[in-house]
Structure 1
Amino acid sequence: MKDKVRDDYERPVISLRISVTNRCNVNCIYCHHDGMLDSSSEMTPDEIYEICRIAKKLGVEKIRLSGGEPLVRGDIVEIVEKVNSLDFKDISITTNGIFLEKYAQDLVDAGLDRVNVSLDTLNPDTYKRIVGKSLLEKVKSGIIKSCEVGMYPVKVNMVVMNNINNDEIMDMFEFTKEHGVILQLIEIIESESCDDNDFNLKYHYKLDEFEKYLAEIADEIKVREFMQDRKKYFIDGGEIEVVHPVDNTNFCKNCTRLRITPEGKIKPCLLRNDNLVDLLGYIRDGASDEDLIDIFLKGIHNREPYYKEDN
């Protein structure tokens, strides 16, 4: 990866995560609901294309579209189509899955490779408690449809919460295994640096013991070196990946991702908002490629491990 642009800590920038909106159609209990934008203030498909075009010049290989909920945008298929025209190695979307059945085929036809679906429970009452609406069956149908139209891999992101869904992990695994879907278990952060620490302290469920159980029953274990050394457990034809909280040096040391906010600003670090770099304003003012590359590089050189070895 010597050809990749690297930050001042020798970390290559491989992936760009673009929040195409911060609007959402559910109200999850663990969401921070960061400042909502009116749809008229969101980046246009052409502006998102321009951001991706400059990123491609700098060696970015992967694009992930997220939100909020990206599928609330009526032009989401057009966005994927434009990004796909730049020939990235991988284009993915993170979604709550409510509109996924509606858009799955069109998204694949537009060039989407894969999808991550947020789904924390298969219990209708628990689902309504978590997201505020009774839409579980729509999400399940969207996951199944994604598999049918050829997205690969399809992943389910399950945020594990103590006394809410921590006893449902294996039920979720059976569901994902049945449909050829990968299950990602996400441990919420417990750190005092979290903005919503009361919730996290109340519902934090440490996955260490469960991961020991997975190690005992797994047919095979693989380590994702460039994804914070996450472990993937292959069990009876299914797959579980455990995502530990980001409050650790290993997460920061192996971070290869840059983010774009819904306002079109470069966000060098997931855990900071004090070093954002405006990009969209310069695109709208007609800045040259050279200027936009310099702005991107400024954002990249603003990258600094939030958790360092000497912290």
Structure 2
Amino acid sequence: MVVFELTAGYVPEMVDFVAENRGLQLQLIEYMPEIAGHPEWAIDIQRVHDWLDEQAERVETREMHDRNRYYVNGGVGENGETPSVTSRDSSGVETGMVEIVDPVENEDFCANCGRVRVTHEGYLKGCLNRNDDLRSMGEMTRPEIREAYRDVVDSRVPYYGEYLVENDDGNYVINEKYIDVPEPDADVSATNP
């Protein structure tokens, strides 16, 4: 679930549901106004981290993307109190887990990302936030797909800190070295996911 002004009020209820139902996992994704617009909808994701720190029995940090996982069990009481919890049930199965995906202005998140995605139209995509790095697989042979995959991996740069850089006003802007660079596949539109 993307967490922003209109959805933040549902977080406690969703965490409660995950805590009460063994084995569920919930990803809370930080709203990205630089991509979606409406910066006024953004909330301070640190508030969600702080609240989950109080609710969780155990917190761990995933190496990939440097993001936190919160293990919850038993639900959040109506007064906001957390009942006595354990991170595993009697059979040894993990209890509910909430993970915060918080890439905004998080250079560690991007630096630890090694994912390559395939879009619904058959393009390889090195960064979820960019559309200028798409590589069409079209009618490629397996060796050509491998080569296109290698090209995507080789051209990856961290979105925050490299592709987007902070200007003197404290805002993130596209790094000048990526402006007016020809797109890898000229037939791919900028709106292609």
TM range (shorter): 0.5 to 0.7
State the distance in 1 between where 2:71 and 2:145 align: 43
The residue aligned with 2:10 is 168
The residue aligned with 1:202 is 40
Query: Which residue among 255, 263, 274 is the counterpart of 2:113?
Result: 255
Amino acid at match of 1:173: V
How many residues are aligned here? Answer: 142
The residue aligned with 2:191 is none
Query: Which residue among 5, 12, 21 is the counterpart of 1:179?
Result: 21
State the distance in 2 between where 1:302 and 1:159 align: 28
Amino acid at match of 1:160: V
CA contact (8 A) 1:189 1:247 kept: no
Mapping for residues 29-48 of structure 1, pairs under 5 Å: none
Amino acid at match of 1:242: I
The residue aligned with 1:303 is 156
State the distance in 2 between where 1:290 and 1:239 align: 39
Q: Per residue, is there more helix in 1 or in 2?
A: 1
Mapping for residues 265-276 of structure 1, pairs under 5 Å: 265-276=123-134
SS in 1 for 2:53: helix
Per-residue deviation at 1:231? Answer: 0.9
Query: Structure 1 residues 247 and 281, CA, compared in 2 at 3 Å: closer, same or farther?
Result: farther
Per-residue deviation at 1:246? Answer: 4.2
Q: Give deviations 1:198-224, integer Å, cap 9, x for gaps.
A: 2xx132122212311222332211110
Give RMSD over aligned pairs: 2.2
State the distance in 1 between where 2:128 and 2:151 align: 16
Structure 2 segments unaligned to the other structure (5+ residues): 74-94, 166-193
Query: Structure 1 residues 241 and 175, CA, compared in 2 at 3 Å: closer, same or farther?
Result: same
Amino acid at match of 1:234: Y
State the distance in 1 between where 2:152 and 2:51 align: 41
Q: Do structure 1's residue 239 and structure 2's residue 97 form an aligned pair?
A: yes
Q: Give deviations 1:173-221, integer Å, cap 9, x for gaps.
A: 2222222212221220133xx2x312xx132122212311222332211
SS in 2 for 1:213: helix
CA contact (8 A) 2:110 2:160 kept: yes
State the distance in 2 between where 1:165 and 1:275 align: 31
Q: Give deviations 1:99-130, integer Å, cap 9, x for gaps.
A: xxxxxxxxxxxxxxxxxxxxxxxxxxxxxxxx
State the distance in 2 between where 1:278 and 1:217 align: 45
Q: How high is the sequence identity, in percent, across the aligned residues?
A: 32
Query: Structure 1 residues 171 and 275, CA, compared in 2 at 3 Å: closer, same or farther?
Result: closer
Q: TM-score, normalised by structure 1?
A: 0.42
Amino acid at match of 1:166: A
CA contact (8 A) 2:103 2:110 kept: no
The residue aligned with 2:49 is 211
Q: TM-score, normalised by structure 2?
A: 0.64
State the distance in 1 between where 2:37 and 2:118 align: 25
Query: Structure 1 residues 183 and 290, CA, compared in 2 at 3 Å: closer, same or farther?
Result: closer
Q: Give deviations 1:57-79, integer Å, cap 9, x for gaps.
A: xxxxxxxxxxxxxxxxxxxxxxx
State the distance in 1 between where 2:11 and 2:145 align: 45
Per-residue deviation at 1:304? Answer: 1.9
Query: Structure 1 residues 168 and 301, CA, compared in 2 at 3 Å: closer, same or farther?
Result: same
Per-residue deviation at 1:258? Answer: 0.4
Query: Structure 1 residues 178 and 291, CA, compared in 2 at 3 Å: closer, same or farther?
Result: same
State the distance in 1 between where 2:103 and 2:31 align: 6
State the distance in 2 between where 1:161 and 1:218 align: 21
Mapping for residues 1-311 of structure 1, pairs under 5 Å: 158-162=1-5, 164-180=6-22, 181-191=24-34, 194=35, 196-198=36-38, 201-226=39-64, 228-236=65-73, 237-282=95-140, 287=141, 289-308=142-161, 311=165
State the distance in 1 between where 2:103 and 2:145 align: 33
